[in-house]
């Protein structure tokens, strides 16, 4: 089993930032990483981060967010489609693929390489994109997330964890040519 090449802690942070809606807040939290937010390609469901020094682009996919009343029903529909094996027909999966093509169109001529990340539903979105573009995506790191809600109305704490063992890490990290 090969160890993931990407910095798992940075990718975990990028996966978490996929939930944020405001570019200013995301850019503040990117301090200490080499990445910058590409606001022209990022949207509510996908955030595109690039490192001009290493020529690396990471697309982070947002998972189900029960606090987002505008997208929770669509997220639940995507979760259901995964459950019944019909994610290929799902609107969100189709958008993830279309959006990744836009990222490739913008960055490939500049010599960038591509990685994907996400957690929960976001990881489920990143994985088929990785499989659809095996010669483009170098690595796909996915994370689980658990939410613990307090009794206060607007407080939510997200706890993210990396893969627990080698087998789980192998499934989470799809390398070029090993899809």
Q: Which residue has the tokens 């070029």?
A: 176
Q: What are the pLDDT digits (tens) for 6-46?
A: 688 899 999 999 999 899 999 999 998 999 999 999 998 89
pLDDT at 85 over 80: yes
- More confident of the two residues 111 and 77: 111
Q: Residue 74: which pLDDT band, with cuts at 50, 70 and 90?
A: confident
Residue 1 clears pLDDT 50, i.e. is over it = no
Residues 122 and 58 sit within 8 Å (Cβ to Cβ): no
Residue with token string 């809606």: 21
Task: Indicate the domain borders of the chain.
Answer: 8-144+154-172
Give the pLDDT confidence score for residue 179 in this predicted structure: 35
Tens-digit pLDDT profile for residues 46-66: 999 999 999 999 999 998 877
Q: Are strands 113-119 and 46-51 parallel, antiparallel or unpaired?
A: unpaired
Tokens found for residue 158: 């997200």
Residue 75 has pLDDT above 80, yes or no: no
Q: If you ran DSSP here, which 8-state letter would residue 26 be given?
A: H
Confidence of residue 144 (pLDDT cuts 50, 70, 90): confident
131 closest CA partner among 164, 96, 163, 84: 96
Q: Please tell me the pTM assigned to this model.
A: 0.76
Of 21, 17, 19, the closest CA to residue 36 belongs to 17
- 130-143 tens-digit pLDDT: 999 999 999 999 88
- The most confident of 73-87, 118-132, 135-149, by mean pLDDT: 118-132
């Amino acid at each position: 089993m090969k160890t993931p090449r990407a910095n798992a802690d940075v990718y975990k942070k990028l996966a978490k930032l996929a939930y944020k809606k405001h570019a200013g807040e995301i850019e503040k939290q990117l301090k200490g990483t080499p990445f910058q937010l590409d606001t022209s390609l990022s949207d509510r469901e996908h955030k595109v981060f690039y490192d001009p020094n290493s020529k690396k682009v990471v697309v982070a996919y947002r998972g189900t967010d029960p606090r987002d009343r505008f997208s929770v029903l669509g997220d639940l529909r995507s979760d259901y489609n995964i459950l019944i094996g019909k994610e290929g027909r799902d609107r969100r999966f189709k958008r993830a693929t279309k959006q990744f093509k836009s990222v490739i169109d913008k960055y490939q001529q500049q010599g960038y390489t591509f990685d994907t990340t996400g957690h929960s539903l976001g990881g489920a979105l990143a994985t088929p994109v990785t499989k659809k573009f095996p010669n483009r995506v170098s690595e796909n790191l996915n994370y689980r997330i658990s939410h613990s809600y307090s009794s206060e109305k607007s407080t939510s704490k997200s706890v993210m964890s990396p893969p627990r063992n080698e087998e789980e890490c192998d499934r989470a990290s799809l390398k070029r040519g090993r899809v």
